[in-house]
Every structure is written in C-alpha cells, then in structure tokens.
Chains A and B, each alone.
Chain A
Amino acid sequence: MAFTQADYQDMQGLLRFGYGALTEACFLLLRIEDAAAAGLWLEGAPLATAEVQIPPPAKALQLAFTCEGLRKLRVAEETVNGFSAEFLSGMVGDENRSRRLGDIGESAPQHWQWGGPGNVPDMVAMIYARPGQLEAWKLSLEDGLKASGFVLLQCLPTTDMGGVEPFGFVDGVSQPQLDWEGRRSTSGDKLTYENLCALGEFVLGYPNEYGKNTGRPLISKQQAADLPDAEDAAGHADLGRNGTYMVLRQLEQDVRGFWRFADAQTNSDEAARLDLAEKMVGRRITGDPLLHARAQAITVGGTSADDARLNDFTYDEDRDGTMSPMGAHVRRANPRNSDFSAGTHGLWSKLVHMTGFGRTYTREDIIASTRFHRLLRRGREYGSKLTAEQRLEQAPPDAVVTGLQFACLNANIARQFEFVQNAWLMGSKFDGLNDESDPLLGNREQVAGCPVDKFSVPSAHGVRKQIQNVPRFITVRGGAYFFLPGVRALRYIARAARI
C-alpha cells in the first residue's frame, strides 16, 4: 500500500507537539446536555492543528470524546460500533479490565474522583496557553461551553514543574519518533530496536507496525462526503483517519512517601538514597540513562546530540540488570528490544531462534517486540512542586496533593496502553522477576497469593538485593478512554449532533 502523506491540517496538534512552550494547561471534563447546541459550538471550535505555525501559537485547544459523548452527539450506533472494543467498553466498563490495569484496592474506579462508574465525562477540552494567558481564556471558553449545552464536571488543573515530574525526576525524556514520511518498512522481523514507529501506531487511518490499518469506523462515502477517504476500503470514508485514542489517567503521587521510603532504606545516606531512587525510576534524576553511553552509537533516539546522549541505548548490554534493574520503571515501560533476542543475525540464527532454540540464559526472549507496544505521552503534572528538603519531611496536614495527569496517545488501546500497563508495569513476573510490580506505579495488591511489594536490585558480583515492603506511591484518582478526532471527523461529529 502506498503511503499517503500525513495530513497535518486535518490532525489535532497534540499528535505532533507536546506544546512545551504553552506551559499553562488545564483539562476541562464536560458533560453534554444539549446535543444540538453542543454540535454548533463544536463546529466552530478553534481547534489547534498539527501544522507548524509561524510564529508558534500562544494558545491551543484540543478536543476528545468518550464513547458516551459520541452517542450523546448522535453519532449513529453503527458508526460508534466501529471503534475498538476497549473504547466502547471504556476504562471502567469491565471488572476484568480493572484487574488487568491494576485498578483495584485504593485505585479501584469506585473511589475515583471522576471517570468511575456513572461518572464518565462525555468530552475533554484540553487547553494550553503561554504563561499568564490561561485563566482569561479558560473563563471565556467555559462561558461559551456552558452557553452551548455543556456542563463542566471538573477542571483538571496542571502545574508547570519545568520538565520535572513530582518525584523530582526529569520527565518525558524518551518518546517514540513518528514516521511522518512513511520511511519505515514494517515488513519482516526487526532484528534491532528502533525508535522510529509506523505512523499507524499513533494515528488511525495509516498502516501500523503490522503493515495494517487499525480498525476504526468506516462510513459509506455517500453519507460522509467530506470525511477523508479510507486507504484500505474503497468507497468508504474514514472517521478515524488523522485521529487517535487518548488515555487519560489522574495519578496521585505520594512524593514524600517515595523519598522517605528511599531514605529509610538507606539510613539517610544522601548518595545511597538518590542511587536507590534512581534505580527504581531507571534513570538519573537528571534524565540521563543508568547505562553507559554506547561505544558504537545506534540511532535509537532522535537526531539531536541531547537525545543521542539520553536515548541511544538498549538493555542488551545489561541483561542481568546490574546497571538498571530489570524492574526499574522506565525499563518496564519500554524494554527496548527487537523481535528476536540480542545476537540473532542471519538466516540460520533466525531459524534457530524462531524454533525456540539457541537460548543462552534462562530469561532470554521472555519479552520481545517492543515496537508493538509504544505510547506517545502527553501528560502534565499537577499540584505543588516540592523542594528536595520538603520531599523528606512529614506531610503537613494541609499538604497539596500532587501527581500526574497522565495522557497518552495510541491507535490500539488494548495492544499499546493496556498491554504495557498490564504485562509490563503491573506484571509481577515481568522479565522473570517475582513478587514485584512497577516500583513507582504498583498498587501492591496481591494476586493469587503472590506479594507484589518487593524490588530487586541485582549486583554485579553476587546475589541480588531484594528490597521489601515497598509501599504504594501512586493512586489512580480518575481516568477514561477518549477518541481524539481529526479535524474533519470533528466537524462530521458536530454535524451529526445538529441533525
């Protein structure tokens, strides 16, 4: 299938930009009361697209809908059913999903501040602005929304922490690079880890890493003449094209709990405390990798020297986790491996590995093919940023809660977000480990009688150290699955609401 040029004009900007310069942001969770009025507002909504603007914009608006929202906007049921099963069911629509995502115990949906059963918003309006410009814009948008059949359920605030997440670590260091020009061939097995990902992994309507178009609603061309054409179905318009799914989760972080735990484990030794915290995260507090830079650079990262320093590594040279523990957060979230275990070269060795032979150590090949499980993260911090000293103090009674409004974009929620969250982050057996889940995100709720509150730190010369009784540092406070439509798709949805 010939690759058609990505249509930036028809995409929301979040797919291409993190809006880093627009340091102020908030996410308005809305319910739709009057579909016709809402449709009218949506038709004229000043949506920021993925086109490069010169000068860069001073503000940006992005819109996304839950399945409930699309139904309220009177999108035909048949069309809605063309979205993925996860989106239709929603983040809280199935207990099995909550079990897999680790949304149990204190993080269970019934405790959520938003998004829990019966409390799912219809739409989110994400607004971004330059410093000092958010409040006024937000008020005027709110007025417009309220006058147009929307009810504001909640405003998720964000805080600019200067590129650092609440625990104090530089964040957003590694992101997949989207193949906007269709340079990447997805055919055949990949023997090296690459950061360049097929556009279809993140944008619907384009081929994904399997070389296929991810399922999304297709509508006959007569009924939707101004929607983009479906690449893979003649005579059909593509409601998904240039859109994607967005996973939004409010993750409250116990910053003091995290640092006080690390402190207690290391007898308040400053260097050891930092070292343990960095091992749990899997990066230096500055964002630098725990692994030494490669002698021979592989262009895993982007083109900048900074990105090369931060991202040109895989864990092939640290198979035993002596530099970065196997269970470290960033190693779980992105194990950086290819379709075959390291050292597979040529036809014969591929054949040997393909049939299950040629393993040189017990844990070899447990996890593979990271390329099918990447996430484009667009989250923002909230609450107040603590100083290094404050992090070690007991929380005052009036402590402001802090955390991450986690947002990620992906074309296949089940294979990307849910898989990473379930198999890699929550998985107590990830990469041959036992009795531990993600040191940062883990809910510490036992599964099948197995504890999940340990953290192993391998050492180069002997037995790995196992840290016991790791507390829960992150509690889920809300969440939902959204469809972030392309520009023409948004207009289509808006018109559906008005008829």
Chain B
Amino acid sequence: MTPQSTLMVVAPIEASREAELRHLLARMNSEVGVADPGNPLLPFSQFSTLHFARFVILDDATAEDLRAYGADPLPPTKSLAFLCDCDGPADHLRGELAKRAGDGLRKIFSCCLEFPADCDLEMWMEEHDKPAATAYTNWLGRTVMQVLEENDLRSALVTQLQSSTHANASPQQVWRALQAFVASEQRGGRLVLTPPSPTPWRWRIKDLLHLFGVPLLLLLVSPLLLLYLPFFLIQLRLRESKDAEIVPRADAAFVKNLASREDRILTNQFSAYGNLKPGTFRRWTLIFLLFAVNYTTRHIYNRGFLARVNTIHFARWVFLDNRKRLFFASNYDGSLESYMGDFINKVAWGLNLVFSNGVGYPKTYWLVLDGAKDEQKFKDYIRRHQLPSEVWYDATPGITAFDMERNSRIRDGIEEHAMTDAEVAEWVKLF
C-alpha cells in the first residue's frame, strides 16, 4: 500500500511582479482555472503520482473583520501557494518536480520574494513548505495508477456486459464469465491491474506509533483536561455569546470570478482563507481540535467518507502566519451548492467544530450546534472567504470519489476466488 501525502509551498509575492505571475499562471490553463495537463511550464500529467495540484494567491480580503473583535488586522501580504496531493512521500515528488519541471517552477517562484536565482529549488520548496494540521485522503493507499486502471476495468466490463447476452445468466455465471474475460484481457495486455506495492515499513511504524501513542498521550493528560473542561466550557459559552457574526454576501464580481472556475469538470476545487478569532483560547482550541480531527482522518476516515460526506477526494487545513490564519483546501465532486448543502445537512457539527474558531463565523452553541445550520449566513460566509484557484489540476477528471470506491469493489470481486450467491448478487449490482 502506498500512502498519500501533501505538499504546500508558500512564499510572499514580489508586489511589482504580481501581474507577471498571474499572467504566467493563466497561461498554464486550457480553460479558466483548469490546468492544461501538458502545459510546458509544469506538465502535471508527467507526474504519475500526482492526484491534484493547484496554485492559489493567498490574499486576505477579510482582514478588516478582526476590528470587530477589537484586534488590528494582520499586515496585508500576498503569497503564492502551490499545493499537491500525491502518492508516496512528498520529498520524492519535490525531487521529481525540481528535476523535471525545474525551469518552469523557477520562472513561477522567481516572482516571489525570498527566491534567490541560484538556489537549490528542491531545498527551497522544502524550506517553504507548510505542513497540514489536518489532512484528509478519501481512500488511504489508492494511487493515481490504481484509479485509472480500475476505471478502465469498469469501462471494459460495462462494454462487455452490454455486448454479450447475460440476460438469462445467473449472477454466479456472470461473475465467472467476467473473471475469465478480465484474465484474457490481462493476458492480451489490454487491461492491467497492478498489485499494490508493499507498505513502507518506516511509514507503518510511524503510523502504529501515532495510532496508539495519541490515545495514550490523551489518556495521560486526561485528568488535566477533565479538570480544565468546566472552565473551557464557561469560556467557550461566554465567547460564543458575544463573538461577532460577519456574514455579508460576497461581492458579485468576486463570486463571478470564483464561479468562472467552477463546474467545468465534474470535480471542483475549493480554497478558503481567514483569520482565527484573536487570543490564545481560540488558537489552542483549534490546535487541539485539528490535532484530534487529524487523528480521525488518519486512522478512521480513510475509507471513502469523511463523516457522512463521500464526495471529497482530498482536503487539508493548514495554519499560516504564526497560527493566526487558517487555510482550507479541498477537491470535491459536484457543484459548490451541493457541497455546501452536504456541509449543512450532513456534517454541520464537524464544520462548526473547526470553523467556528474563525472570525465572523455564524453563531454556534456548544461548539457544534447551530453555526452552519444557519444556511444562508453560512453560505455567504463560505463564499466570502473563498479564494480563486488560479491553476487547478485533476489527474482523473470525470471520475468521482464514489466511482473510485465502486470501481475498487468491482476489482475486488474480479480478484475474489469464492463469493456466496448473496455476495455475487450485490457485486453484480455495482455495474
């Protein structure tokens, strides 16, 4: 099994070169916001382990909101962020990027401050990496290659099913016939189903240590946490009752720019950026919560769904600017309206847990209640904090996260030696 990882290079943009940078980025696209996979600057499709990538300009349009909390806005900065979700270690991808797209990346990053022309690109990217506080992968271990191979498998099987008569065949007969078909296609080299690579032992040890270490640690400090809990709850409720909601509708031109980048393929990108509520209480609450959520995404929610939502491919929360700002990025299936609908109707509690620590969020109650359930305020809040992705790459357009899960189940059935009638009947329904 090949674990997935993320990288995020962040560097401030040299003000005088912002226009040039935007021009460079726009040239990488085949249509507004959607990358040309083979663009000469960064030919994304040549990196076979890359699931998603994007360039975003971090520009805090809501900085002034802090004044409502009696704090001064952070100094305005514009930074370039480059994000990748990939198979295998990020170090490896960084090396490959530097080796095979070095010229293009240098051209892009040269528009940033702190980029000496003679620097070692790989090292520079590592130095400017911002690790995710929480990273979510829809399916741990599912590689780009696997997604593509399994999608080909499904397509071939669907075509096969339509071209031959299975009308009177029993599910068992259909299953056996498809297994034979796949075996012959594999022999002919028309279908490939690469077996998973062995799990790196270093990763496995680290993962096990994390799996057991975190609960152990929590258990050890739990007496302290329990003692603090009543004070925490009082502080929380005091703050929740007076924290200002800042939820005006986002500017129409701003929304139009965002929307121009959406719904071009079946999957969409989402980037959001905002300030934490000032003070240590919210900061440490969020640090703790994201640490806890990261535990669940690492060990529990890595099999096709994040709580009730199964349309998210990759997502991450990243602290920036000394943990005074939070950046959120995700890749999801369907339109933003349905994505926000899922947030509100299916996982409002989870959204509240994290984002209610952000400035201006709709009023919550005990950290998980209300908040996102105030539908229109929440939707306006989301849109206003969103950032346009200047360039966005999806290695597997047209294949939703649900498709991927279903395709893997189809493959499982093909590779299975024995299934009961009931199992086969369920499997056949996958087509």
**Is B376 in contact with A215, judged by CB distance below 8 angstroms?**
yes
Q: Does B252 contact A (CB under 8 A)?
A: yes
Contacts of A320 in B (CB 8 A): 429
**Is B428 in contact with A353, judged by CB distance below 8 angstroms?**
no
**Is A468 in contact with B162, judged by CB distance below 8 angstroms?**
yes
Contacts of A142 in B (CB 8 A): none
Provide the B223-258 mask, 1 if CB < 8 A to any CB of A, else 0: 000000000000000000000000001001001100
Distance of A428 Cα from B402 Cα, bound (Å): 12
Segment at the interface with B among A35-43, A274-282, A366-374, A476-484: A366-374
**Is B375 in contact with A212, judged by CB distance below 8 angstroms?**
yes
Q: Does A264 contact B (CB under 8 A)?
A: no
Segment at the interface with B among A114-122, A161-169, A443-451, A486-494: A443-451
- Within 27-85 of B, Cβ neighbours of A (below 8 Å) are at none
Provide the A460-473 mask, 1 if CB < 8 A to any CB of B, else 0: 01111010100000
Q: Does B333 contact A (CB under 8 A)?
A: yes
Contact of B374 among A96, A212, A414, A428 (CB under 8 A): A212
Provide the A87-124 mask, 1 if CB < 8 A to any CB of B, else 0: 01100001111011000000000000000000000000
A448 and B431 in contact, given A99-B263, A356-B305 (Cβ under 8 angstroms) = no
**Is B376 in contact with A447, judged by CB distance below 8 angstroms?**
no
**Is B306 in contact with A463, judged by CB distance below 8 angstroms?**
no
Contacts of A94 in B (CB 8 A): 256, 259
**Nearest CB in chain B: distance from A218 CB, A:** 14
Distance of A464 Cα from B406 Cα, bound (Å): 15
Q: 15 more A-B contacts (CB under 8 A) besides A212-B375, A356-B309, A458-B429?
A: A85-B252, A89-B256, A214-B376, A320-B429, A354-B308, A372-B345, A415-B341, A422-B335, A423-B337, A429-B334, A447-B398, A462-B166, A462-B167, A463-B161, A468-B162
**Is A210 in contact with B252, judged by CB distance below 8 angstroms?**
no
Which of B167, B174, B335, B349 has the most CB atoms of chain A within a 10 A radius of its CB?
B335
Distance of A368 Cα from B343 Cα, bound (Å): 12
Question: Chain A at the B interface: mostly helix, strand, loop or mixed?
Answer: loop
Contact of A366 among B171, B402, B429 (CB under 8 A): B402
Q: Does B346 contact A (CB under 8 A)?
A: yes
Closest to B334 in A: A423
Of the A-B pairs whose beta carbons lie under 8 Å apart in the complex, a sample of 21, sorted by A's number, is: A85-B249, A89-B256, A212-B376, A339-B345, A362-B405, A362-B430, A372-B345, A415-B375, A419-B338, A422-B337, A423-B338, A434-B403, A447-B398, A448-B267, A449-B397, A450-B266, A458-B429, A461-B171, A463-B166, A463-B174, A468-B162
Residues of A within 8 A of B (CB): 85, 88-89, 94-97, 99-100, 210, 212, 214-215, 320, 339, 353-356, 359, 361-363, 365-366, 368-369, 372, 414-415, 418-419, 422-423, 427-429, 432, 434, 447-450, 458, 461-464, 466, 468
Provide the B397-431 mask, 1 if CB < 8 A to any CB of A, else 0: 11010110110010000000000000000101111
A429 and B259 in contact, given A215-B376, A422-B337 (Cβ under 8 angstroms) = no
How many A-B Cβ pairs are below 8 Å?
124
Q: Does B123 contact A (CB under 8 A)?
A: no
**Is A85 in contact with B426, judged by CB distance below 8 angstroms?**
no
**Nearest CB in chain A: distance from B423 CB, A:** 12
**Is A447 in contact with B266, judged by CB distance below 8 angstroms?**
yes
Contacts of A354 in B (CB 8 A): 307-308, 349
Range, interface on chain B: 35 or more
- Within 287-316 of B, Cβ neighbours of A (below 8 Å) are at 301, 305-310
**Is B374 in contact with A210, judged by CB distance below 8 angstroms?**
yes
**Nearest CB in chain A: distance from B262 CB, A:** 6
Contacts of B113 in A (CB 8 A): none
Distance of A339 Cα from B345 Cα, bound (Å): 7
A432 and B260 in contact, given A88-B252, A356-B305 (Cβ under 8 angstroms) = no
Provide the B156-183 mask, 1 if CB < 8 A to any CB of A, else 0: 0010011000110111001000000000
**Is B346 in contact with A368, judged by CB distance below 8 angstroms?**
yes
**Is B398 in contact with A356, judged by CB distance below 8 angstroms?**
no
**Is B306 in contact with A356, judged by CB distance below 8 angstroms?**
yes
Contact of A429 among B161, B166, B249, B402 (CB under 8 A): B402
**Is B428 in contact with A89, judged by CB distance below 8 angstroms?**
no
Which of A355, A449, A464 has the most CB atoms of chain B within a 10 A radius of its CB?
A355
**Is B397 in contact with A448, judged by CB distance below 8 angstroms?**
yes
**Nearest CB in chain B: distance from A431 CB, A:** 10
Contacts of B338 in A (CB 8 A): 419, 422-423
Contact of B337 among A418, A428, A449 (CB under 8 A): A418
**Is A432 in contact with B402, judged by CB distance below 8 angstroms?**
yes
